[in-house]
Amino acid sequence: MQYDEVVIGSGAGSVIASRLSADPARQVLLIEAGPGYLGASQPEDLRDPWVSLVDHDWGYSADYRDGRVQPYPRGKTLGGSTAVNAAVAMRGSPADFADWVRRGNDQWSYEAVLPYYRRLETEAGADPAVHGNSGPLWIERAAADRWSDQGRAFVRAFGDLGFAALDDLNAGSSSGAGPVSHNVRDGVRQSTAIAYLDAPRSRPNLTIWDRCTANRVLFSGDRAVGVEYIRDGVAGAVTAGRVTVACGAIESPPLLMRSGIGPEDTLRRLRIEPVAVSPEVGQNLADHAAVFLTAVGAPTGREDPAEYFEFYMRDGSYYIALLTLFSQRALGVFFGDPNAAPIVAVAPGVGRPRSRGSVEVVSRDPVPPQVKLNFLTDPADVATLLTGTRLSWDVLHNKHFEPFVKQALPPLPEIIDDDAALTSWMRATCGTGFHPVGTCRMGPDSDAAAVADQHGRVRGVRGLRVADASVMPGLVSAPVNLTVLMLAERIAEWMAAENE
């Protein structure tokens, strides 16, 4: 059968497939490499709004820097990483999108994207001028009278340091501290599989193939005409009027390169016939580098919070997250020992990093790529994280927050005032937000190196788009979950309006 639209990947791809299949005349195929749970058939680890680090994972690793290789989980199931992440629903700030505009992406200002943030969500009781009330994604945010004791202390500590207290981090401020919103409803994670596919899956013009791995996009000349895949161990091909790649910032570049779109030397090395030479496919990888200032906690009040990632502060180039690992459940997930001492962590990170990594394809076959994050290789990122780390130290020792801290763990007390020692510690221990973006970055027509234009259309070919985190020109100062869905909403609208 020929499909009008073939969408590869079901994180952001679920948004694209749902929106395009709303037109009953349009035949849409959604391809997902992992299992295709829907509704009540989802296993508990996917319904639970906690990070799922083991099951439904691609099993990738990443070189953080200098050969320090660590696991790099990405979701492999219907809903992609929205089905396994921390269910954090935070928007990018106006300053983040001003940075996109400075890079030449004038169609992605904060004013331009706000209607699409609103379109995707339902947040009951929120300001309708800022939030949506009829979108597919249910979002919850704790009112001030429901803040945990430690969260309230976190906000008050930042108040002492001159930062605003915000009831709503998604209301358009670029600076301040407040509660984190989550895409959770009645304790159940609202992945894109639930939010965007539960109702539309009954549409006769929407087909979902799970456990199906896309090998490459097929071309006739410079036009995408289909997808070669492996399903149940059997190779096949499907024809398409248009193909959308939405596999995420780690998997979309290898798929493009296996299809003949990428750096010429890489394609020649792998004996792949070039369709379009695009040197920056797989380059420009950005992720949030963060460190963790940990202390033995002194839980009081609500000792077993439903959310371990409750409060957040951002200001310009850095952010600081509060992680409260007080419950046996939290300690078991993150430390492997449910009986460990309670931990409180204040985690500063680089909000809009300048350091760049890469995703390198190693085979003509769909095997894991080499991921290099190159954290803290740009001196500006080091300076930003030094600032954030010392500010976090001040919060840990603020009069409001001290009741929740028994003892700061080494080596921070000994090195906090030593630039060289603190920098070495940051480089040796920095972790990631697991928020990769930028590996198929978009740009204006004047930017010949950009992989895609501002509508996600891949340069040098026809009938092919990328619609996921890989086209983001830079990071936002928040987890990217909501921004990727916003981006997919906007690209889907453009696609629906096109005649091609």
Residues sharing a CB contact under 8 Å with residue 448, sequence separation 6 or more, in sequence order: none
User: Quick one: which of 479, 477, 476, 470 has its CA closest to 441?
Assistant: 470
d(CA 187, CA 233) in angstroms, rounded, equals: 37
End-to-end CA distance of the chain: 19
SS3 168: coil
For 432, the enclosing helix (H) or strand (E) is: strand 431-432
Dihedral Cα 376, 381, 387, 391, nearest 10 deg? -70
SS3 content of the chain, % helix, strand, coil (to 5): 30, 25, 45
d(CA 127, CA 112) in angstroms, rounded, equals: 19
From residue 140, give the alpha-carbon distance in Å to each of 133, 136, 183, 310.
Answer: 12, 13, 6, 12
d(CA 367, CA 131) in angstroms, rounded, equals: 41
Residues sharing a CB contact under 8 Å with residue 95, sequence separation 6 or more, in sequence order: 174, 316, 477
The DSSP line for 178-219 is EEPPB-EETTEE--HHHHHHTTGGG-TTEEEE-SEEEEEEEE
Among 182, 400, 435, 455, the active-site one is: 435
Q: Which amino acid is at 483?
A: T
d(CA 219, CA 260) in angstroms, rounded, equals: 9
Burial of 240 (0-12, 13-18, 19+ CB in 10 A): buried
Q: Which amino acid is at 357?
A: G
Phi-psi region of 460 (alpha: psi -120 to 50; beta: other; left: phi over 0): left
Query: Is 182 marked active-site?
Result: no
d(CA 369, CA 92) in angstroms, rounded, equals: 28
What is Dmax (Cα atoms) for the chain?
67
d(CA 216, CA 267) in angstroms, rounded, equals: 13
CB half-sphere exposure, 103, CA atoms < 13 A: 25
Peptide bond into 274 cis (omega under 30): no
Q: Which residues are catalytic?
A: 435
